[in-house]
């Protein structure tokens, strides 16, 4: 043990920053052995895109993966996004610029200056109402549930609001490059077919039909952290599920449904367009048809009934879900930012100020120590090999006692592409602007014992660093052009208050203790993208773009027929 520690220290001392490169130089990692399960990769991607955006997947028939990842791969809501597992916090709050940074210092450049305010609260993502799963109703997206009132922190008076995650939603764009998923890396590199741990013994294995016999076979697929990740939130009673929902029940519900039945799909959607119902909603296919096109028959063709109730395909639903979502998210690669073009030799792609910012990013700021290489992250398959592992680092965002992350307050050295569009920042969402992030690093982090070295920075240099971070945006992401186009979505955005502290009851049974909600519409976007750029989080807080000059300003009506 002691020898290991010394070695690590020596290695850390001599670790060199990874040189910046165009992301076009790094291929998306392949998952060896995938073809044993998959027979049509294009169909797999289409299935994954439908799964990702489909509101029918949540137990309430209204919550998709995309509900928390619809805006440059991250969340963009400003009401009922706060939580804290350890302390009281204001439920249903409307975020304003004055909430940020959540730790405010008299002198933002000096960590030892007076602390004007310090809040351990987290800027997370609203998930689902707390309800117990009773059953599905075949043919219907909304499941039967029963309200559970055991989380009074998500109640105002006697009415519930949606529960909120304890960490900020990171972007799913470029996530295919990570060795492990989540801020703390708990989604394993190896996919076991059903759980995030990757451990074979944690999952029942795939149910395969060989020589007329159905049998379980263990699944162990490498370079598949996105598949491991995807099987987490779907059954999580905070994010998408009523408590106690099971995989085969979910399979039984989903496989009978028309894909994206509630949502409009652009006829020129880069993946789903050819399957879209024109002048209507959803795709022309059911999930059974899509699964059968994408996956090998040995995973679904048996007529046997399992456990007295389920088909083979229903039993294999977690495998379908994980692999399809991984395949779709692996297409979300933003490798055409102005930085990429500059590094490919187009000297005019970045302004002199942005180039100065790039120099500071690599030198004074030491940013490339953890945000280097092509992915701007030390946590990827390519960058985390070799000496001096910087994949998970302690940067002193919060006291490790509040959230240990991957251990001792370490979190993923996350990629920085499209960062101008994905605020608020850090695992706790505690900073709203890139200027606040630069101040944080320049003062050497907020909490002691971290790997950040403070550095002097004047206002010109700060502006240059921020300008450089803005050069990391790919315009296809900014304008939601293919592959970042998508179906329509409606997202819950807090609950209206009749007067402060008083919510409106839901209009209809059976959920009499759930509040009425605000819903924001996100329109369908086809391959050629939006006319207007995505709104930044800062602009959302300031109301910039509410006049229609920004996409996703969160003030459009929801037109989906919510169940």
* Residues engaged in binding ligand HEC (CB under 6 A): 52, 63, 65, 67-69, 124-125, 127, 165, 167, 169-170, 172, 175, 178, 181-184, 226, 229-230, 233-234, 239-240, 325, 365-367, 369-371, 390, 393, 395, 397, 411-414, 416, 419, 422, 425-427, 437, 441, 451-452
Q: How far is the CB of 4 from ligand HEC (least distance, A)?
A: 20
Count of C-beta atoms within a 10 Å radius of residue 355: 16
Cis before 101 (ω within 30): yes
Structure tokens at 418: 């499209």
For ligand HEC, the closer of residues 205 and 357 by Cβ is 357
For ligand HEC, the closer of residues 227 and 298 by Cβ is 227
- The β-bridge partners of 122 are 83
Count of C-beta atoms within a 10 Å radius of residue 434: 22
Q: How far is the CB of 51 from ligand HEC (least distance, A)?
A: 7
Q: How far is the CB of 499 from ligand HEC (least distance, A)?
A: 28
CA nearest neighbour of 193 among 241, 227, 159: 227
Q: How far is the CB of 71 from ligand HEC (least distance, A)?
A: 12
| C-alpha span between 410 and 267 (Å, rounded) | 44
Residue that the structure tokens 């939601």 belong to: 480
| C-alpha span between 129 and 511 (Å, rounded) | 10
Helix (H) or strand (E) holding 115: strand 115-118
For ligand HEC, the closer of residues 263 and 395 by Cβ is 395
Structure tokens at 91: 């439920």
**Beta strand 497-499 with 489-492: parallel, antiparallel or unpaired?**
unpaired
| C-alpha span between 175 and 153 (Å, rounded) | 32
| C-alpha span between 203 and 469 (Å, rounded) | 41
For ligand HEC, the closer of residues 219 and 452 by Cβ is 452
Q: How far is the CB of 278 from ligand HEC (least distance, A)?
A: 27
| C-alpha span between 177 and 72 (Å, rounded) | 17
Q: How far is the CB of 178 from ligand HEC (least distance, A)?
A: 5
For ligand HEC, the closer of residues 282 and 429 by Cβ is 429
Q: How far is the CB of 451 from ligand HEC (least distance, A)?
A: 4
Computed from CA positions of residues 229, 400, 18, 101, in that sequence, does the dihedral angle turn out positive or negative? positive
For ligand HEC, the closer of residues 49 and 427 by Cβ is 427
**Beta strand 392-394 with 115-118: parallel, antiparallel or unpaired?**
unpaired
Q: How far is the CB of 268 from ligand HEC (least distance, A)?
A: 24
3-state secondary structure of 94: strand
Count of C-beta atoms within a 10 Å radius of residue 441: 19
Q: How far is the CB of 438 from ligand HEC (least distance, A)?
A: 6
Alpha helices in 285-351 (DSSP H): 287-294, 312-315, 317-329, 338-343
For ligand HEC, the closer of residues 460 and 549 by Cβ is 460
For ligand HEC, the closer of residues 203 and 298 by Cβ is 203
Q: How far is the CB of 196 from ligand HEC (least distance, A)?
A: 10
Q: How distant, in Å, are the alpha carbons of 24, 114, 341, 425 from that of 117?
A: 43, 9, 42, 18
For ligand HEC, the closer of residues 208 and 406 by Cβ is 406
* Contact criterion met (CB below 8 Å) for 209 and 312: yes
For ligand HEC, the closer of residues 216 and 387 by Cβ is 387
- CA–chain centroid gap for 410, Å, is 19
For ligand HEC, the closer of residues 177 and 479 by Cβ is 177
Q: How far is the CB of 407 from ligand HEC (least distance, A)?
A: 12
Three-state SS sequence of 495-536:
CCEEECCEECECCCCCCCCEECCCEEEECCECCCCCCCCECC
| C-alpha span between 316 and 299 (Å, rounded) | 7
Count of C-beta atoms within a 10 Å radius of residue 288: 17
| C-alpha span between 525 and 265 (Å, rounded) | 8
| C-alpha span between 441 and 425 (Å, rounded) | 13
For ligand HEC, the closer of residues 103 and 412 by Cβ is 412
For ligand HEC, the closer of residues 273 and 388 by Cβ is 388
For ligand HEC, the closer of residues 229 and 263 by Cβ is 229
Q: How far is the CB of 165 from ligand HEC (least distance, A)?
A: 4
CA nearest neighbour of 190 among 332, 32, 415: 32
Q: What is the CA radius of gyration of the chain?
A: 23
Nearest residue to ligand HEC on Cβ basis: 65
Q: How far is the CB of 210 from ligand HEC (least distance, A)?
A: 30
Q: How far is the CB of 370 from ligand HEC (least distance, A)?
A: 3
């Amino acid at each position: 043990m002691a020898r290991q520690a010394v070695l690590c220290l020596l290695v850390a001392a001599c670790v060199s920053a990874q040189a910046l490169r165009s992301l076009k130089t790094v291929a998306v990692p392949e998952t060896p052995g995938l073809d044993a399960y998959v027979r049509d990769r294009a169909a797999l991607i289409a299935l994954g895109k439908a799964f990702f955006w489909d509101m029918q997947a949540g137990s309430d028939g209204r919550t998709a993966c995309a509900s928390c990842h619809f805006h440059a791969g991250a969340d963009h809501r400003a009401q009922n996004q706060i939580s804290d597992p350890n302390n009281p916090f204001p439920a249903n709050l409307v975020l304003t610029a004055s909430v940020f940074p959540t730790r405010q210092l008299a002198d933002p450049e000096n960590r030892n200056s007076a602390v004007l305010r310090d809040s351990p609260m987290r800027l997370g993502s609203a998930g689902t109402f707390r309800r117990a799963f009773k059953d599905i109703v075949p043919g219907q997206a909304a499941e039967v549930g029963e309200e559970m009132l055991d989380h009074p922190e998500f109640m105002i008076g006697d009415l519930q609001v949606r529960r909120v995650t304890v960490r900020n939603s990171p972007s799913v764009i470029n996530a295919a490059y990570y060795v492990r998923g989540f801020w703390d890396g708990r989604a394993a590199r190896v996919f076991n077919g059903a759980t995030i741990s990757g451990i074979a013994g944690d999952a029942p294995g795939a149910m395969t039909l060989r020589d007329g016999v159905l049998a379980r076979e263990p699944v162990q697929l490498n370079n598949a952290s996105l598949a491991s990740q995807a099987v987490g939130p779907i059954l999580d009673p905070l994010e998408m599920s009523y408590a106690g929902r099971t995989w085969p029940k979910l399979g039984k519900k989903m496989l009978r449904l028309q894909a994206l039945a509630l949502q409009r799909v652009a006829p020129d959607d880069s993946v789903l367009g050819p399957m879209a119902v024109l002048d209507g909603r959803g795709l022309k296919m059911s999930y059974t048809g899509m699964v059968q096109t994408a996956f090998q028959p040995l995973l679904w063709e048996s007529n046997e009934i399992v456990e007295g109730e389920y088909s083979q395909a229903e039993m294999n639903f977690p495998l379908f879900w994980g692999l399809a979502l991984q395949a779709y998210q692996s297409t979300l690669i933003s490798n055409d930012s102005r930085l990429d073009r500059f590094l490919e030799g187009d000297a005019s792609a970045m302004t002199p100020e942005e180039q100065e910012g790039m120099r500071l990013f690599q030198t004074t700021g030491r940013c490339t120590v953890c945000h280097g290489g092509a992915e701007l992250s030390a946590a990827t398959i390519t960058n985390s090999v070799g000496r001096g592992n910087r994949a998970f680092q302690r940067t002193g965002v919060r006291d490790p006692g509040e959230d240990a992350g991957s251990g001792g307050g370490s979190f993923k050295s996350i990629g920085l592409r499209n960062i101008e569009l994905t605020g608020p920042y850090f695992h706790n969402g505690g900073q709203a602007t890139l200027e606040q992030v630069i101040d944080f690093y320049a003062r050497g982090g907020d909490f002691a014992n971290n790997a950040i070295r403070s550095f002097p920075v004047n206002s010109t240099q700060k502006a240059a660093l921020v300008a450089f971070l803005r050069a990391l945006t790919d315009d296809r992401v900014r304008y939601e052009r293919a592959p970042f186009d998508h179906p329509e979505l409606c997202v819950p955005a807090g609950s209206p208050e009749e007067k402060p502290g008083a919510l409106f009851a839901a209009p209809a049974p059976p959920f009499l203790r759930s509040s009425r909600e605000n819903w924001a519409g996100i329109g369908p976007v086809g391959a050629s993208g939006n006319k207007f750029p995505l709104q930044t989080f800062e602009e959302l807080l300031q109301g910039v773009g509410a006049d229609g000059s920004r996409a996703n300003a969160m003030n459009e009506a929801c037109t989906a027929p919510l169940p």
